[in-house]
Amino acid sequence: MYAIADPASRQTLRPSRGLIPTPDGEQLYYEDMGDGPTLVFVHGWAMNTEFWERQTADLVRQGHRCVAYDQRGCGRSSPAAAGHDLDSLADDLATVIERLGLERVTLVAHSMGACQVARYLSRHGAARVVGAILVAGTAPGLFPDPASRTEPLAAQVTAMMADRPAFVAAMAEPFFAPEPVSPHLVAWGTGLVLRTTLHAAIEHSRTNINADVRADMAAFTCPTLIVHGSADQSCPLERSAKLAHAMIPGSELVVYEGASHGLPLTRSERLVADIAPFVRRAG
């Protein structure tokens, strides 16, 4: 049985894992490990806390506190029927930070998580945040023209409704390409996705494709590190990281040559080596 965080408490809670109630009655599974400068990890589409396990394991051993959580409908969080829009997901991030009493946080976000961080900062401010790290992030949005969103969204919904395991397996190719990965890693990664409810996966696709956070990018007033793969097929560098870098004054852009969208899984050692000194500088 997981511990449930008291909604009325703003004191630091330190069980290694638990459930945090949201204002609309859902429950968010979280893991809280280690001591030291605090990082909060925000996963991308249909993933969960386990996506970050290589980074959190290394960083905890190096003297950091790492908090990760499953977004609503994902992993061990409740299978929410509503609240999958960008505002609600950003508010869930705020709930995690506030219920655990976190201060001086570095936010680390992958893929769609970058848009959630942008919206969080614009809705809740940066009072608790000392830094942000966007890893293969989709911000400021992959489809700025609303007319270009209908076709890819319809295709994804149709494919998931028809044969979700086949759709997820097909998505794994551009997620990891062109980097060589074992079939075991692919199977593990697709397994994480399939633990998200079908409803949440569809709604998160809707949010991801419709995301446009250009107006939110000015809220990045904290030091920001942008890490992206030059060979990212799911989220091309020119349509995301380079734009984000231009929109966030003083941000640092680090490009991993030949790296894919899944670089937290394929380039973990280098990613940790970039995260740790950034946290020291930002904190």
For 155-209, write each residue's pLDDT tens digit: 999 999 999 999 999 999 999 999 999 999 999 999 999 999 999 999 999 999 9
For 212-221, write each residue's pLDDT tens digit: 999 999 999 9
Output the average pLDDT for the chain: 94
* For residue 242, pLDDT beyond 60: yes
Is the N-terminal amide bond of 236 cis, ω within 30° of 0? Answer: no
**Domains in the chain, number:** 1
Note whether 245 and 272 are within 8 A (CB): no
Among 84, 232, 240, 245, the active-site one is 232
For residue 1, count CB atoms less than 10 angstroms from its CB and return exposed for 0-12, middle for 13-18, buried for 19 or more: exposed
Active site residue 232: yes
* For residue 11, pLDDT beyond 60: no
Active site residue 261: yes
* For residue 61, pLDDT beyond 80: yes
Active site residue 268: no
User: What are the strands of the beta sheet with 252-256, ordered from one edge?
Assistant: 3-4, 17-21, 27-33, 65-69, 38-42, 105-110, 129-135, 224-229, 252-256
Q: Which structure tokens are listed for 14?
A: 């330190």
> For residue 128, what pLDDT is reported?
98
Domain that holds residue 118: 3-282
Q: CA angle, corner 213, sides to 82 and 67, nearest 5?
A: 65
Nearest to 139 by CA among 22, 259, 251, 55: 251
For 50-71, what is the mean pLDDT?
Answer: 97
Cα distance between residue 40 and residue 155, in whole Å: 33
For 4-9, what is the mean pLDDT?
Answer: 46
CATH number of the domain within which 252 lies: 3.40.50.1820
Percentage of residues in the chain having pLDDT higher than 90: 94
* For residue 1, pLDDT beyond 70: no
Helix, coil or strand: residue 267: coil
Among 111, 122, 205, 260, the active-site one is 111
Cα distance between residue 40 and residue 24, in whole Å: 22
Note whether 255 and 228 are within 8 A (CB): yes
Residue 18 is given by DSSP the state E
Specify the residue for token string 């705020």.
Answer: 94
> For residue 142, what pLDDT is reported?
94
> For residue 14, what pLDDT is reported?
52
What's the pLDDT band for 283 if we cut at 50, 70, 90? confident
- Containing 173, the helix (H) or strand (E) segment is helix 150-176
> For residue 151, what pLDDT is reported?
97
For 29-54, write each residue's pLDDT tens digit: 999 999 999 999 999 999 999 999 99
- Containing 42, the helix (H) or strand (E) segment is strand 38-42
> For residue 74, what pLDDT is reported?
98
The sign of the CA dihedral 250, 102, 76, 49 is positive
